[in-house]
Chain A
Amino acid sequence: AQTVTQSQPEMSVQEAETVTLSCTYDTSENNYYLFWYKQPPSRQMILVIRQEAYKQQNATENRFSVNFQKAAKSFSLKISDSQLGDTAMYFCAFMKASGGSNYKLTFGKGTLLTVNP
């Protein structure tokens, strides 16, 4: 079974600064996907960024980027130029992608990020 660990229950950052959220995972699979989802106070689950394990290049989406270290099983999220609207709970999630997968997500417990003005 896969596990996902987010070791930072809460973090805060000043507006316009950069913050990094940590995520590690444990799996024996070689083919998988990793995701960061954002959950603002509205409670919606919003996809932030995705990474395929077979790709060495780190994914980027505008101000969001990841540092994917496959050997270390680490998948951190960097948010640059933080904005007040980034205040949310952030979840790291693992998805097995091998043949016969049901593509379910295994979530970490989340990191509550607060962006201060």
Chain B
Amino acid sequence: NAGVTQTPKFRILKIGQSMTLQCAQDMNHNYMYWYRQDPGMGLKLIYYSVGAGITDKGEVPNGYNVSRSTTEDFPLRLELAAPSQTSVYFCASRETDRGRARAQPQHFGDGTRLSIL
């Protein structure tokens, strides 16, 4: 019953460093998402994917990259870390709708708290 797993849980980076936030789901969901949550705010969409090999930008994609080589994994890459990227990052996944069925929610990981100093 792993669901959506994010690693690491916490990380401190120096300005200009790069890192990859990992996200894996074991529910065979086609849709996957990366959000960031700044203090006192709701979540904002960074990137999303509707299936393996397909990714697209969300509201706040600048400074990030993603890839989706498998259904299970959706890593988020920060190339040149900046203080503005200090945030909590959430990965989520969602099952495909089947007709006019009940609304399928997004399932979230526990988040990665990232500080850039």
Contact = CB atoms under 8 A, between A and B. Distances in A.
A103 B108 contact: no
Interface of A: 4, 33, 35, 42-45, 47, 50-52, 54, 91, 93, 95, 97, 102-105, 107-110
Interface of B: 31, 33, 35, 40-45, 48, 50, 56, 58, 88, 90, 92, 94, 97, 100, 102-108, 110-111, 113
Contacts of B105: 35, 47, 50
A9 to B, nearest CB: 8
Most-contacted residue by chain A among B105, B110, B113 (CB, 10 A): B105
Given A35-B103, A45-B90, A103-B31, 4 more contacts: A35-B105, A43-B110, A54-B100, A105-B35
Contact of B48 (A93, A104, A107, A108): A104
A51 B94 CA distance: 16
B88 A105 contact: no
17 contacts: A43-B88, A43-B113, A44-B110, A45-B43, A45-B90, A45-B108, A51-B103, A52-B103, A91-B42, A97-B97, A102-B31, A102-B56, A104-B33, A105-B35, A107-B42, A110-B40, A110-B41
The 10 closest A-B pairs by CB, nearest first: A107-B42, A33-B103, A45-B108, A50-B103, A47-B105, A107-B43, A109-B42, A52-B103, A43-B111, A104-B45
A61 B113 CA distance: 31
B83 to A, nearest CB: 21
B42 A110 contact: yes
Contacts of B92: 45, 105
A101 to B, nearest CB: 9
A105 B45 contact: yes
A105 to B, nearest CB: 6
Contacts of A91: 42-43
